[in-house]
Structure 1
């Protein structure tokens, strides 16, 4: 495993953001019987507000509570926000359950509405994977042609092989895919970089936004993914780290909200198709 040293700037940023007090959502719901198959929702007062589904990070292991302050921030910015949980590595999830749950989330919860799928870190990996599900073989359990309207990947894991090579978060990628014996066999169906090679595009409008000072995910992951995704839009924020993208009120978080507005303007909203989460 490659040891990782981070600067005092990155260490302080991580501690500051991850120690924020969780925010209780006004609405809670379930999409399955397992206790992790639940979601929090911040419904917008405006029936035409863009719907944003957030996939949380935590290297596929940790729960969504650290992202609740950011979800509430986006709601204050005028978005209809849904923050789902899913079965996770190290417990009830990993391969295939984590991917089963994320597929079920995006296939059922939007209820036919246009929506933006946003994810941070490993949640960004899952968002990019959702955009690429149309590239899977038709006999895959996760193949679909009903794809997100747009994807915003925030400092995402894009390359599971590189994540394994670099030993990120105590071999989180190996844990996700069930260990070294299963890793290579399972990789092609769940790795965004691998799935995109040859195709060049998912057909889903996709933006990759990251901080130039990110010390959590190697910057090569962003560059390598951009090199194979022919119509990817990349936004780089100078002097910005990994976690301030999801820090309410920070310039990085405002840049995320601005990007979501730009993306939602491209497909518009339909007040008649709004959905009230219960």
Structure 2
């Protein structure tokens, strides 16, 4: 296990963002029978607003509540936002259940609408994996040709082997895949970097956005992924850490909203309009 120390800047950022009060969504629903197979919805006022499905982080272990303020913020920027839960490591999830749920989310909750898929940290890993599902063998349980209109990966984990090697979050990658005995066998079907190495592209417009001073995810994860994804767009925000990308109103979060707006316009959706109405607070 590799020990890491973080700066006072990074520690304060993490505490500030993760202690934000959760925001109650106006609508809730389910996509399955398990208690984790649920979603929160923040519908936009404009029925033609771009649809964004958000995949939360937390090293595949933690729930979505820390991302509710950001989901509400994106709704205020004019997006139609869905924030799903899914079965997670350390409980009912891990391999294959987490991936089953995420595949089901993107295959069904969009209801046939074009959508942008965004994810932060381990949610970014899952978003990049969704973009690469077309690269899986046709016999794979997760293979599909129905892909997102675009993917925005926010400070994502892109390389599960490096995540294991660096001991991130106390062996989170090993826990996700079920341990050392099966890690190498399962890796090729769920690792974005491995899936891309031969193909070089997923065919899905993809943007990787991260802070230049991210101390949570090693910067090599971003650089190594960019090195094999030939048509990836990378945005690096100076002076920005890991968590302010999902902090409502912070410069990082504004950059995320602006990027989602540009991506949605590229596939023909209306540019979102800022909505001043606030989502209700819990």
TM-score bracket relative to the smaller structure: over 0.9
The corresponding residue for 1:160 is 160
The corresponding residue for 1:229 is 229
Q: Once the two structures are superposed, what CA deviation does each residue of 1:196-245 show, in whole Å capped at 9, x if it has no partner?
A: 00100000000000000000000000000000000000000000000000
- 1:13 Cα deviation (Å)? 0.1
- 1:15 Cα deviation (Å)? 0.2
Q: CA separation in 2, counterparts of 1:47 and 1:91? A: 37
Q: Once the two structures are superposed, what CA deviation does each residue of 1:172-195 show, in whole Å capped at 9, x if it has no partner?
A: 000000000010000000000000
Give structure 1 regions of 4+ aligned residues with deviation exceeding 6 angstroms. none
Q: CA separation in 2, counterparts of 1:5 and 1:96? A: 32
Q: CA separation in 2, counterparts of 1:148 and 1:94? A: 23
The corresponding residue for 1:275 is none
Q: CA separation in 2, counterparts of 1:153 and 1:111? A: 22
RMSD value, Cα: 0.6
Q: Does 1:133 align with 2:137?
A: no
Q: CA separation in 1, counterparts of 2:262 and 2:153? A: 14
| SS of match in other structure, 2:248 | coil
| SS of match in other structure, 1:168 | coil
The corresponding residue for 2:56 is 56
Q: CA separation in 2, counterparts of 1:208 and 1:149? A: 15
Q: Once the two structures are superposed, what CA deviation does each residue of 1:24-53 show, in whole Å capped at 9, x if it has no partner?
A: 000000000000000000001101100000
Within 5 A, what are the aligned runs for 1:1-278? 1-269=1-269
Q: Once the two structures are superposed, what CA deviation does each residue of 1:87-113 show, in whole Å capped at 9, x if it has no partner?
A: 000000000000000000000000110
Q: Once the two structures are superposed, what CA deviation does each residue of 1:82-140 show, in whole Å capped at 9, x if it has no partner?
A: 00000000000000000000000000000110100000000000000000000000000
- 1:268 Cα deviation (Å)? 1.6
| SS of match in other structure, 1:48 | coil
TM-score (norm. length: structure 2): 0.95
| SS of match in other structure, 1:139 | coil
Q: CA separation in 1, counterparts of 2:218 and 2:136? A: 27
| SS of match in other structure, 2:198 | coil
Q: How many residues align?
A: 270
- 1:269 Cα deviation (Å)? 2.5
Q: CA separation in 1, counterparts of 2:198 and 2:89? A: 30
Q: CA separation in 2, counterparts of 1:66 and 1:47? A: 27
